[in-house]
A and B are shown apart, each in its own frame.
Chain A
């Protein structure tokens, strides 16, 4: 076998690219995993306090956010289908809807956190430190976990914006859409984390 190997610049491997994104997703799962570990330890130690803490959260807003995120997961998956079917316009609309949903989520988060801040409840506040142990841990976890999750929403939105532009200028197209696949995978990850965060933060009996 003495064929010349293709020059480095022409190397394209979509399978490798997608595999790489999955590996990155593994790291994110374990990153949040550390927080879920802390959560599980403290919830086991302070079950009543955690329940009482969760009563301070709005299940309605939490549920809306869950629905919004699940819906956005569907729309970004649909965007990929659209791209595979060479429907550039539909793909852009669907990515746009996904981004809109993300914005709705962030707005709700702003409302929720705003309400807490308004009552003097924020990381490092005097009120926080006056709470008894279980409640303090609950709210520390609440802010940390939803905050880190919100940061990942922002990262996901950025990736999807990039995808939107690339679909527009056809650098993502029906022959080359691995970037959109990867952006969608990241978005699904953000949804996955929330699927666990919602019952664990909001629905504690």
Chain B
């Protein structure tokens, strides 16, 4: 099947001439593939800006006392690092990039349900991003509240909080509309013969994610509005002097922001679930369990938000409740890990770069996940709350987890998107540097965190110095690895060998069409298999 499509003369979506020319043909594009790439270029750019901000923090933390910046600047830097990474990189993340590019193809559709709305989503994403950048440079100076904008500091600090929270609001809208689009697409546009349980698991993960985006994001929307109203009018919801409660802000904030982490990780898990069967040439173990576990994570993920607030002053009963639910929500994730590993058993394993990143994902996600249990348990949480331990935990999950899944996905799907292959040897070398750098950067932070190193502090006691040095060195090594990785991929796109339609021998629908895909994806109605992972 794959060799036939290699030789057909066709017009790829890159070459297609629509109403607009040049750069306008991209900015005005309604083709889901172009929109996916637009998201990719923007998000990768924002990621590197955020990464450089991270490096600046590491430079400050390489020694106690003031090193390269003062405390106020440091506060501004970790705030904007968080805002960029959370709202402009990992939340849109794999959904906006690979979801946009591949969801319609994987379900046998020509595009998403609402292509013009899709384009609007990207425009709003850019608008919100510009607003976030603006918050750094306007009159009152960059916000210094952390990306979490906790009241009462966020309602009183004389910095550009209103612009930054407005930016987050606008970015939230983009997320909501993407979620809406994907839900309708999956319900209405599956090819004839593809029932829900014939869909591959990446679309399943996008489906669960889309529901979270749709239902959780409005809560942060209204919360940010309340914050802005507090700054402008003193409405008092979060101000004890006026009858309010700062904890109420935290509840509202985390009611969104906890489900948001599942928005980050579910599509990542979905991509991994595509990659592993391909490189083991074996059916995924427990298809239904993985599909249902995605929905379970989405649902239970709405009920655990208080585990960010154990030390805030919540009632004892609340602490019990949230801790119990937090342990429950770990179960569906564990099911997925078990199923991924079981898929590999007796598989015909080929450790190409996508698979290597997928393996790293599993390893790093397990570390992040198990340290999450330490945080989810109230008694131990008291020791590590607001320390570097938390910072290490969420970086292992988001960066080690979602980030590495992103790297796996781009190495997996790049040949399909651009019709070109990258240099495998350089990919392995880049992986090695990234993997070593990542662990050197974050693992010491577990240790000094347990020992008492607070987070968001630009200065620290001498006993943490050694750990901080290792961490900073790791950060720079990681950055070098990332640059090499991107360089390799870009070189592959520009000068790499032409890639066939199915270089990895996958079975899902994207591998049945040419690389790069034609504008309308399928020239003929695709043949739908009952089992999307039918390896013979």
Contacts and interface: CB of A to CB of B under 8 A. Distances in A.
A2 B526 CA distance: 8
Interface in B222-260: 222-223, 225-226, 229, 232-237, 242-245, 248, 252, 255
B522 interface: yes
A5 B520 contact: yes
Nearest to A37: B252
A137 interface: yes
A19 B110 CA distance: 19
Contacts of B183: 19, 23
Interface in B186-244: 187-189, 192, 214-219, 221-223, 225-226, 229, 232-237, 242-244
Contacts of B487: none
A8 B519 CA distance: 10
A3 B525 contact: yes
A136 B520 contact: no
A110 interface: no
Given A8-B520, A31-B218, A42 B110 contact: no
A5 B110 contact: yes
Contact of A140 (B181, B236, B255): B236
Given A20-B184, A24-B180, A27-B176, A34 B219 contact: yes
B332 to A, nearest CB: 23
Given A3-B525, A27-B176, A27-B218, A16 B184 contact: yes
B181 to A, nearest CB: 8
Contact of A38 (B117, B184, B217, B226): B226
From A1, A38, A132, A143, residue with most partner B Cβ within 10 Å:
A38
Contact of A16 (B188, B243, B245, B524): B188
A2 B523 CA distance: 9
Nearest to A18: B184
Contacts of A33: 218-219
Given A19-B187, A31-B222, A129-B242, A123 B525 contact: no
Interface residues of B, number: 45
B214 A124 contact: no
B233 A124 contact: yes
A5 B104 CA distance: 14
B520 A42 contact: no
B215 A26 contact: yes
Nearest to B181: A20
B113 A30 contact: no
Contacts of A11: 110
A32 to B, nearest CB: 8
Contacts of A143: 235
Interface string A2-24: 11110110010101100110011
A117 interface: no
A134 B242 CA distance: 8
B527 interface: yes
A38 B522 CA distance: 50
A110 B385 CA distance: 49
B114 interface: yes
Nearest to A134: B243
Contacts of B144: none
Contacts of A132: 243
Contacts of A46: 243
B224 to A, nearest CB: 10
A137 B525 contact: no
A144 interface: yes
B243 A42 contact: yes
Interface in A116-142: 123-124, 128-129, 132-134, 136-137, 140
B308 to A, nearest CB: 17
B214 A23 contact: yes
A5 to B, nearest CB: 6
Contacts of B111: 8
B219 A30 contact: yes
9 A-B pairs with least C-beta separation: A133-B243, A34-B222, A123-B233, A124-B233, A140-B235, A31-B218, A30-B218, A16-B188, A137-B243
Given A16-B114, A19-B188, 13 more contacts: A3-B524, A5-B110, A19-B183, A23-B180, A27-B217, A31-B222, A34-B222, A34-B255, A38-B252, A45-B243, A133-B242, A136-B236, A137-B244
20 contacts: A1-B525, A5-B520, A5-B525, A7-B520, A19-B184, A20-B117, A23-B214, A27-B214, A32-B222, A34-B219, A34-B222, A37-B252, A41-B245, A124-B232, A137-B236, A137-B237, A137-B244, A140-B236, A144-B226, A144-B235
Interface of B: 110-111, 113-115, 117, 176, 180-181, 183-184, 187-189, 192, 214-219, 221-223, 225-226, 229, 232-237, 242-245, 248, 252, 255, 520, 522, 524-525, 527
